Amino acid sequence: MDIYYGVVIFIFGLILGSFYTVVGERLPEGKSIVNPPSHCPNCNHRLGILELIPVFSFLFLGGKCKNCRSKIPVLSTIIEVLTAILFLIAYIRFGISIKLFIALIFISMLAIVIVSDIRYMVICDEVLIIGNILIFILLIINIGFKASMMSLIYGIASLLIMLSIKTLGDIIFKKESMGGGDIKLMFTFGLVLGIPSSVASIFIASFIGLPISLIMMKKNSSHELPFGPYLSIAAIILLLSGIDVVNVLVNM
């Protein structure tokens, strides 16, 4: 039965991952996420059912549009696979529980954030607001109203910490060092992970992103790089690994 649920959640992750790509691609531009139906961005060919199967369609088509043979962006396939794998790991970690649904919403939000931030350097408020509301409701069900209010305070504190870091960065570099979306994202991290882990996510994200940033800056020194994807990866690692940041620091 556990294997059955695992397979279902994995497939569910593949399907939702495909949808999250659409949301991340269209929402920053103010486009509808349902109309027009999925199509090739190059020739506007409307995708048929066999062209909409997550991952497999990309492989069968050789990564190219069936109609005009232009390359299909690989990001959508990466998000599909990544979402499915993370959903499965979340199920293994939390089982069928309220914590699992919180984790799935958290992962879903960050999948969309990764797409929109990579494509447009934008983290949409709509995604954060809807996700945070759903998570807060589930927290109330899981741990009660009083404890949930503390999580809310942790979210605000994490946001203020990130805002302080941005302000300091602006002063040091004499330009905007971080986007507003990254700061708002920290509220979600504090809400779900608590203050220590949300702060730890900043350092982990910097560690992950540094070598990639250096390579990209070497190619184009004026190119701005999104920080949201690195923050998202770091937060997901902390959530699914269950690392107790405070305990790690105490025993260092």
- Walk along the chain (252 residues) and give the pLDDT tens digit of each residue: 588 899 999 999 999 999 999 999 999 988 888 777 776 676 776 776 766 777 878 777 777 777 677 787 788 899 999 999 999 999 999 999 999 999 999 999 999 999 999 999 999 999 999 999 999 999 999 999 999 999 999 999 999 999 999 898 888 877 777 888 999 999 999 999 999 999 999 999 989 888 877 777 666 655 677 889 999 999 999 999 988 776 676 666
Predicted confidence at residue 213, as pLDDT, reads 74
| Of 235, 241, 242, the residue nearest 105 (C-alpha) | 235
What pLDDT does residue 160 have?
Answer: 95
Task: Please name which of 133, 100, 115, 101 lies closest in space to residue 33, comparing C-alpha atoms.
Answer: 115
The whole-number pLDDT of residue 103 equals 97
Q: Where are the alpha helices (DSSP H) in 44-179?
A: 56-60, 75-94, 98-120, 125-143, 145-173
In what helix (H) or strand (E) does residue 227 lie, and over which residues does it extend? none
Q: Which residues of 219-238 are buried (b: 16+ CB within 10 A; e: fewer)?
A: eeeeeeebbbbbbbbbbbbb
| The predicted structure's pLDDT at residue 170 | 83
